[in-house]
Amino acid sequence: MMATAGDATDVVERALVQCEASFIQGVHSFHGGHQSDLLIRPDAFHGLKQAMLQSFKNRLGGDDGADRWAEDGERVRRVGFYAGALAAFHAYADFSDWVEQCHLERAMTHVKAHCNNPAKRQIEWVYCP
């Protein structure tokens, strides 16, 4: 059965929602598995989600998007988790009670460094913004 544009959009949205959930888990597990007291600004993840949207559409927007996400999702969600932990690190370094957009941007500099490193080009990096 051929996937429709709506199906592809659903796969992309579901993937982004799952990555956001992993990011939030990463923020809240920053203290070695103990619940963090950091709060996440409601709009903080929006900018990152928008930045990731095109690469997710490129990778998951075709007929085989659901199959690709079933194969790639765990590793990509893990990257989201680590980005959340890095964002929490930057928030704590700033003595902030909130994870702000600037903390996500700093965390993503670490992720992007791997995305742009040809030696690290594994499947999860094709999703990078």
pLDDT tens sequence across 27-44 = 988 765 555 688 998 888
pLDDT band for position 1 (50/70/90)?
Answer: very low
For the entire predicted model, the pTM comes to: 0.81
Quote the CA–CA distance of 54 and 128 in Å, as a whole number. Answer: 9
Quote the CA–CA distance of 26 and 87 in Å, as a whole number. Answer: 9
Task: Look at residue 21 in the predicted model and tell me its pLDDT.
Answer: 93
Full domain range(s) for residue 63: 5-127
Q: What is the CA radius of gyration of the chain?
A: 15
pLDDT tens sequence across 69-113 = 998 888 888 888 988 999 999 999 999 999 999 999 899 888 877
Residue of higher predicted confidence among 118 and 82: 82
Task: Look at residue 117 in the predicted model and tell me its pLDDT.
Answer: 64
Residue 123 has pLDDT above 90, yes or no: no
Number of domains in the chain: 1
Task: Look at residue 60 in the predicted model and tell me its pLDDT.
Answer: 92
Residue of higher predicted confidence among 84 and 128: 84
Task: Look at residue 79 in the predicted model and tell me its pLDDT.
Answer: 83
